[in-house]
Amino acid sequence: MSNAATTESKPSAPAPPPVDKIKIKVDGREVEVPKMLPNWQGKLEATTMLQAVQIAGGEVPHYCYHPKLPVAGNCRMCLVEFGTPMMGPDRKPVFNEDGSPKIAKSVLPYEPSTPRGAIACATPISPGMEIYPNSPATKQMREAVLESLLINHPLDCPICDQAGECKLQEYSVQHGQAGSNFVEAKVHKPKAVDLGPRIVLDDERCILCTRCIRFTKDIAGDDALGIVNRGSYNTIAAFPGTAFDNNYTLNTVDLCPVGALTSKDFRFQMRVWFLKETKSLCTSCGTGCNTVVGSREGKVYRYEPRQNDAVNSTWMCDSGRLNYKWIGREDRLQEVIVRGQKSTWTTALKEISEKLSKSATRSVAVIASARQTTEELYLLKKLATKLGALTDSVARIGEADKLLVAADKNPNSNGARLTGIASPELGSTISKIADGIRAGAIKTLVVFGEDVTKAGISADLLGKLETLIVSDILPNATTKAAHYVLPGCAHAEKRGTFVNVKGRLQKFMKAVEPKGDARPEWEFLHELVHNVTGQNGFMSIEGLFNQMAKEVPGFAGIEWAAITDQGVNTTA
Amino acid sequence: MPQEFRLILKNADLPGYTPDMDCYLRHGGYEALKKALATAPRELPDGKKQSSQEVIRDEVLKSGLRGRGGAGFSAGLKWSFVDRRSGKPIYLVCNADESEPGTFKDRQILHKDPHQLIEGMVISCWANDVKLAYIYIRGEMPKAAKLLNVALKESREKGFLGKNILGSGFDCEIHVHRGAGAYICGEETGLIESLEGKRAYPRIKPPYFPAVLGLYMCPTIVNNVETLCHVKHIVTMGSGEYAKLGTPNNTGTRIVSLSGDVKRPGYYEIEVGKVTLGELINHENFGQGLKDGRSLKAIIPGGSSSKVLKAGEVFKLNRKGADGQMTKVDVPLLDLPYDFDSLQQAGTMSGSSAIIVMDDSRSMVDALANLSEFYAHESCGQCTPCREGALWMAKGLHRLTHREGRKQDADYLLHIAQNIQGRTICAFGEAAAWPVLSFVKKFREEFEARGAADEAKHASGGAPMKMAASPKH
């Protein structure tokens, strides 16, 4: 199944000690679990059976329950058999002959021979409770729920986009039965409902777990979805005449445990089992939502959020999620260009190194991008220091929202600040650079990842430069004016780190190979730095990061290996 | 001689009795409220002090009053669960969503004597520090809703409702809220959701026990119409006198809705446990027997969701002997005292006290198909076992009643029903499953015969069996 956090996420970390603990038994094994654990909002609440079983190393299958959503208790998949210490008429515990407490198993009050399960997702534990997540009675209850969920389901797995990451499939394998008793005609419901600009709904596949309804109401703050009709005919729907359209709708696709909600962007593009999953970050704003990149044979097919409670919980916004297509654009820069002619890295880097080495102090300026990795910015800064160059990067300010989207649209503004390549207020030095070019003092401009003609340095000004060295991913007016074009990489094509708006340092992994002659910027930058400054570069991103951490105070004490999937805090 | 004992319906059917304030006052109305408001605090023998309100609550507990809606739970205990320390307002909700098939008792009160309910509610509000109460009335009773609103207006004008009731300093308001036509709104947490303006999806318990997290997440009491009327009489009579009505642990009176194959169907108020099922069906004061030439086949004793009882069944009941010892005694069906405990021991329930009598002209298969279609239609669809199972059973029964049955359908139906009961969010699961479980278990031969006949028809060259797309599609 998918590693994407929203499909299924881990329970939140327990509260810090001291923690009140309760002793219970799970399948006969005694375990001590905290009395209280964070609920979906992070508030401490009585520990549930489901959480307790997870702590005991077990699993209770479930559909409607999600650790980051209010508990609904409607799917009944997590029903488990349980018992509590038996109490005598004097309200004192009753003991077996061996001194162990007698357990009263929960049974139907009107039929004491039949176990009565409790929904593990909503039932708090109590001292001495015994939970039987694998007893025959529990298994029978699960089988029955699965049978019920499938009777009106179309069983169209071969053409279902969810196949391969579908909880109905998975639980049918793990907990289901091979046959169904059902011999009636199925209920038919709307197919391929256009729920909103990015979402398609198949009501027949829907198991009515209401995760989507709860997400959009309680997390996204847009009470847009509900249920119409009754009983078996229940149908998820948006209000008549309205579209399900907020910036978080695609999270419902992740949350949907079945193939009911699908993404218009991703559906039918690729069978999910062919996708390679790579831990990455969203680059659309400074929040740095943790993502999983789904790719196959060098092509990125989708982003999904990855759980990080310090950053994005298990969500990401639609605009960030869909902002991947540029990686595969046909017009990607794929060739090294020297004065308008296709060239080679060897030639270009040799020429550039020589030019920079010979340049007079303060005749070079560097405009970096806060979309670059921290390591690249660090190397640029090294180069700039040697050349006495003015440096800055380009600010990108938009609108923030209440959930995840930050006003800072650069993923690494804090990285640019910490490495010293940018002024504290990004872009405030650019006018000085423009003045320097205009005055003829600045003869060489190094630009990385920005179209400076939109950031205060006009094409006319660029024309005054003796040397314009540009690295970018896509063509623009600046690359057009460049004497040297060095094709760079999307974040999905390399490794590196970003520092988000809250100062959290996070790393991302390489998902796909760069196109053509494009190379990760840190690789050729380290060559340039070596050629120009004489300092030895680092052949690996690990060594480069560790060197940076030694030199840049903001990263003091951090090593690449210590940056977990959840990131670490910096002083930014 | 078994006969009616009219307490709640004492006046309702008197000639010339009208639902207005004047008529109610002429018959001693609102005296119980005055008495309640004038209740003095008291000190118990153990030295504990009780406020005036605690006295009333204690009286209701001691009266042994059990809820008349269906579950038969102690009203006094229910009140005692209310979280009185939350600092949040406490709400009282009158459940007037009477919709269990076969039940037509609350509507007698609502249409004929609405002030009795209001008086019972104001007393209950006062006793529980409730300043705002609601009457949730089913949408299909528009006339009663209108009458209630008139009665509430009259009560306000007379100072029985509103600000500073009868100079006591107690403020209380009651609003009527009409349902939109769903059986599930009678389930108390579904009712609360509906009252909040939402889809009537019953809440999960834990954590949403109404006594703690009810209406608007505040402590809430939900009582049936008849139950709240009894509170008035407990205040009037005192708990001791009241508890003498009926039988131990089954005190007071109950209005029984009698329907089906009897000569004189109707509603009869009896002392609980003082009249047997047989008397209710056959006695001249009640049902006056089956139609001529017919014999008894089955009784649904407590609303359509209660388990059916079969003619000729004999039950083992606990009886206290003269020596005070409990012994098991054989009690034939018709000798079952009509009360909470006896019917429970007989494996069913008195539920909403609606008796549906079926004679030998009735097909149990057809009857069950009818009931199951009702429950399939009324399942709210929130939780899986009921949502899928209720319609599944109805479809199977539709097939069985439309000549597409199978001999194995009896077990098929049991399989579905067993996977519903006890596994749902609310008691609707039982309501849908119990008729199927009891009908099929007790009348298995009828179901199997029907299925076998259809199989024989298909085997003898009839059209191949097609799975009926039913009841809706």
What pLDDT does residue A6 have?
52
A8 vs A180, residue with greater confidence: A180
**Of the candidates A76, A108, A233, which has its C-beta nearest B421's C-beta?**
A108
Q: What is the mean pLDDT of residues B6-12?
A: 96
Checking if the pLDDT of A2 tops 50, the result is no
| Beta strand extents in B261-325 (DSSP E only) | 266-271, 296-300, 309-310, 314-320
Checking if the pLDDT of B128 tops 90, the result is yes
Distance CA A92, CA A89 (A): 7
A285-294, A349-358, A408-417, B40-49: least confidently modelled range: B40-49
Q: Which residues are paired to B259 by β-bridges?
A: B356
The answer to whether the Cβ–Cβ distance between B385 and A76 falls below 8 Å is yes
What pLDDT does residue B469 have?
52
Distance CA B101, CA B113 (A): 22
pLDDT per residue as tens digits for the range B307-349: 999 999 999 999 887 888 889 999 999 999 999 999 999 999 9
Size of interface A-B (CB pairs under 8 A): 118
Chain A, nearest residue to B344 by Cα: A110
Checking if the pLDDT of A10 tops 60, the result is no
What pLDDT does residue B473 have?
46
**Of the candidates A114, A181, A187, which has its C-beta nearest B422's C-beta?**
A114
Distance CA A50, CA A80 (A): 9
What pLDDT does residue A452 have?
97
Q: Which of A300, A301, A303 is nearest to A317 (CA)?
A: A303
B76 vs B465, residue with greater confidence: B76
What pLDDT does residue B322 have?
80
Question: What is the dihedral sign for C-alpha B340, B342, B343, B347?
Answer: positive
Split at pLDDT 50, 70, 90, the class of B456 is: very high
Distance CA A332, CA A474 (A): 5
pLDDT per residue as tens digits for the range A301-342: 999 999 999 999 999 999 999 999 999 999 999 999 999 999
Chain A, nearest residue to B382 by Cα: A74
Split at pLDDT 50, 70, 90, the class of A1 is: very low
> Which residue type occupies A264?
K
Split at pLDDT 50, 70, 90, the class of B48 is: very high
B456 vs A1, residue with greater confidence: B456
What pLDDT does residue B461 have?
72
> Which residue type occupies B436?
V
Inter-residue contact A372 to A525 (CB < 8 Å): no
pLDDT per residue as tens digits for the range A284-304: 999 999 999 999 999 999 999
Q: Which residues are paired to B91 by β-bridges?
A: B132, B220
Chain A, nearest residue to B469 by Cα: A185
Q: Which two tokens stand for residue A504?
A: 């959290």
B252-256, B349-353, B454-458: least confidently modelled range: B454-458
Inter-residue contact A304 to A2 (CB < 8 Å): yes
CA distances from B277 to B106, B299, B301, B303, B340 (A): 21, 9, 8, 14, 12
Checking if the pLDDT of A11 tops 90, the result is no
Name the average pLDDT for chain A. 95
| Beta strand extents in A27-164 (DSSP E only) | 29-34, 36-38, 44-46, 79-85, 103-105, 107-108, 111-115, 118-119, 130-132
What pLDDT does residue B325 have?
87
Please report the residues numbered 411 through 430 in chain B whose beta carbons come closer than 8 angstroms to any beta carbon of chain A: 412, 415-416, 419, 421-425, 430
What pLDDT does residue A49 have?
98
pLDDT per residue as tens digits for the range B64-115: 999 999 899 999 999 999 999 999 999 999 999 999 999 999 999 999 999 9
pLDDT per residue as tens digits for the range B398-430: 999 999 999 999 999 999 999 999 999 999 999
Name the average pLDDT for chain B. 95
| Cis before A17 (ω within 30) | no
> Measured between CA atoms, how close is B469 to chain A, in angstroms?
5
Checking if the pLDDT of A210 tops 80, the result is yes
Checking if the pLDDT of B373 tops 60, the result is yes
A216: alpha, beta or left, given left = phi > 0 and alpha = psi -120 to 50?
alpha
Q: Taking CA B43 as the corner, what is the angle to CA B38 and CA B44, rounded to the nearest 5 degrees? A: 120
The answer to whether the Cβ–Cβ distance between B199 and A227 falls below 8 Å is yes
Split at pLDDT 50, 70, 90, the class of A282 is: very high
